[in-house]
Amino acid sequence: MNEIRRGTLQEQTFYEQVGGEETFRRLVHRFYEGVAGDPGFRAMYPEEDLGPAEERLTLFLMQYWGGPTTYSDNRGHPRLRMRHAPFTVDRAAHDAWLRHMRVAVDELGLSEEHETTLWNYLTYAAASMINAPD
């Protein structure tokens, strides 16, 4: 997990440890397959084509975990709560998001430690997006 670069010990980022871009693309693609097959939850996504939303989430997660900064380079600061404010995110939406993300995470086959780290963040992020009562 560590390597020597110019005489200093450098830790790999989580992004690098779990397989980089390919892993995050697989995660988010599988998540959006679930969204596409869930009519009630799919209604939360106003775009007819889920591709742009898939790309935004992929780039965000890659950057968050130590990958390229393409998300911020193109869209500025993530401002997740602000970007989700126009949408009603209640407990049901939270649960649906996590249900589809759980399937996607499980299919990655990460180590237990990496899976726990990722899942803890995803559950925290999902809870922080709730902006409407049940």
What does the alpha-carbon distance between residue 3 and residue 65 come to, in Å, rounded to a whole number?
19
What's the CATH class of domain 17-129?
mainly alpha
Q: What is the pLDDT of residue 82?
A: 63
What's the N-to-C CA distance of the chain in angstroms? 44
| Burial environment of residue 73 by CB neighbours within 10 A (0 to 12, 13 to 18, 19 or more) | exposed
pLDDT number for residue 39: 94
The three-state secondary structure class of 17 is: helix
pLDDT for res 36: 96
37-66 tens-digit pLDDT: 999 999 888 888 999 999 999 999 999 999
User: What pLDDT sits at residue 22?
Assistant: 98
* Side chain identity, residue 26: R
d(CA 100, CA 110): 17
Positions in the chain short of pLDDT 70: 1-10, 78-86
What is the model's pLDDT at position 81?
Answer: 59
Residues 6+ apart with CB under 8 A from 81: 128, 129, 131
What's residue 80's pLDDT?
A: 65
| pTM listed for this prediction | 0.86
Q: What SS3 class is residue 5? A: strand
**Per-residue model confidence (pLDDT) at position 134:** 75
